[in-house]
Amino acid sequence: MSEKIQNLRARIDDLNLRLLELLSERAAIASDIGTEQAALGMSQYDPAREQQMLEALVAANRGPFDAATVKSVFKQIFQASMQVGQTEEKRSYLTSRSSAKQDSVVDVAGVRVGKGHPAVLIAGPCAIESREQVMAVAKHVASRGVTLFRGGAYKPRTDPYSFQGLGEEGLRLAREACDTHGLAFVSELVSSVDLPLFEEYVDLIQIGARNMQNFTLLRAAGRSGKPVLLKRGLSATVEEWVMAAEYLLSEGNGNVILCERGIRTFERYTRNTLDVSAVALAKLETHLPVLVDVTHSGGRRDLLVALTKAGLAVGADGIMIEVHPNPAVALSDQKQQVDFDQFDTYLDEVGYHERLSEKRLEVAGFASR
């Protein structure tokens, strides 16, 4: 190799090091800008600013690269710099796995939900309709070993003329049923005005899909001493779902459970589409327990077993299912709730009884994971 080539390569090596130093300096400044933008509530990505910089670079270009090449190279630099800022910002989130030394375990009236504990089952009616109904369901699910009881007293419905729930009376009835049969009570909070009632009657406050980004409600629930179950929004991304949880944690409530309940897609065979990848991703990216609502995600009784096994197979910490004495006359969700016989069959097919008797099960059942 000629001496000239060696000298030129040495100059290139020197330029590479200088470019790396400049790129690192640029990334640090971009990260500082991103931090300031986040503090001001601004988006980190500013397309107008990016276009302005590209136009200035093209105007200053004297070759040998053409304008398209200059734009392509600097777009890569811009993107890489922004990703550095996003990574650093991500590490600072309370929901991020890097912010906790171990996975969170949430205590719901003595029931432990999270890693290292058996998958939980939350069962109960879509809506609390009467004392007879809620007592019957509570008695049946408790007799089958269930410890977490769900029931809606305030129902946010698409149709304003449909049954909206019994309100405080529903909470009182469900509390009585849960106390009678030794169950912890889970119910959906719709308005922060009702938070004092929920703190009195409810063990696990649910924030439903329609309120996932009700930030005033999230902040109020975050200031509560009660654990919170946060359902994913109807069309929410995983990032939006996790950021909603961040609102809860930022107010001091670390007892947060995520719940995937299916999202809207083009599919019409099911009510929603269960996003099992979101369950796995939430477990990977956060330290929070994650549940799967198999009733709403499919909207079909014949899919409950398959969706349960799918959720548990990707790491879900528990399942939520709706049970009613007679779904045909239920005041809501008639087509997807199961009756007592169907519930018992479901428990057999997913291996729930075997879990209670501490027998080892095949993968994707309610065995200790």
Tell me the per-residue pLDDT of 20-71, one tens digit each, with 9 for 90 and over: 999 999 988 988 888 888 778 777 778 888 899 999 999 999 989 999 998 9
Domain count along the chain: 2
Q: What is the CATH number of the domain that holds 306?
A: 3.20.20.70
Question: Per mean pLDDT, which range of 79-93, 270-284, 315-329 is the poorest?
Answer: 79-93
132 pLDDT more than 70: yes
Same domain, 45 and 150: no
Any domain includes 364: no
Any domain includes 361: no
Same domain, 230 and 328: yes
> Could you say which of 71, 91, 111 is where a domain stops?
91
What pLDDT does residue 367 have? 53
Same domain, 43 and 154: no
Distance of CA 125 to the CA centre of its chain: 22
What pLDDT does residue 335 have? 83
What pLDDT does residue 158 have? 78
Same domain, 78 and 117: no
The C-alpha R_g of the chain, in whole angstroms, comes to 26
Same domain, 151 and 245: yes
Cβ neighbours, 10 Å, residue 256: 26
Any domain includes 36: yes
**DSSP code at position 263:** B
Same domain, 213 and 250: yes
- State pTM to two decimals: 0.75
Any domain includes 368: no
Cα distance between residue 30 and residue 154, in whole Å: 46
> What ranges make up the beta strands (E) of the chain?
105-108, 111-114, 120-124, 148-150, 184-188, 204-207, 228-231, 256-260, 290-293, 318-322
Cα distance between residue 101 and residue 105, in whole Å: 12
237 pLDDT more than 60: yes
Same domain, 192 and 61: no
Domain range for 256 is 102-356
pLDDT in tens, 343-367: 999 999 998 866 543 333 344 456 5
- Residue type at position 329: V
**DSSP code at position 273:** B
- Percent of the chain at pLDDT above 70? 93
- Mean pLDDT over 157-176 rounds to 89
Any domain includes 362: no
Any domain includes 192: yes
Cα distance between residue 62 and residue 52, in whole Å: 18
> Could you say which of 30, 62, 91 is where a domain stops?
91
Cβ neighbours, 10 Å, residue 46: 14
Same domain, 59 and 155: no
Question: Per mean pLDDT, which range of 37-51, 191-205, 253-267 is the poorest?
Answer: 37-51
Parallel, antiparallel, or unpaired for β 228-231 and 318-322? unpaired
Same domain, 219 and 299: yes
Cβ neighbourhood burial of 92 (10 Å; 0-12, 13-18, 19+): exposed
Q: What is the CATH number of the domain that holds 46?
A: 1.20.59.10
Two structure tokens written together for 331: 């005041």
> Could you say which of 91, 117, 151 is where a domain stops?
91
- Mean pLDDT over 264-269 rounds to 87
Residue 122 phi, psi (nearest 5)? -105, 120
What pLDDT does residue 359 have? 33
Say if residues 206 and 188 touch (Cβ distance below 8 Å): yes
Q: In the structure, what pLDDT confidence band is assigned to residue 322 with cuts at 50, 70 and 90? A: very high
Any domain includes 97: no
Distance of CA 180 to the CA centre of its chain: 32
- Mean pLDDT over 147-169 rounds to 88
Say if residues 175 and 186 touch (Cβ distance below 8 Å): no
Question: Per mean pLDDT, which range of 73-87, 147-161, 235-249 is the poorest?
Answer: 73-87
- Mean pLDDT over 134-145 rounds to 96
Q: Is the model more confident about 175 or about 12?
A: 175
Residues 6+ apart with CB under 8 A from 261: 209, 231, 232, 272, 292, 293, 296, 297, 320
What pLDDT does residue 365 have? 53
246 pLDDT more than 50: yes
- Percent of the chain at pLDDT above 90? 67
Same domain, 117 and 201: yes
Say how many residues make up the chain.
369
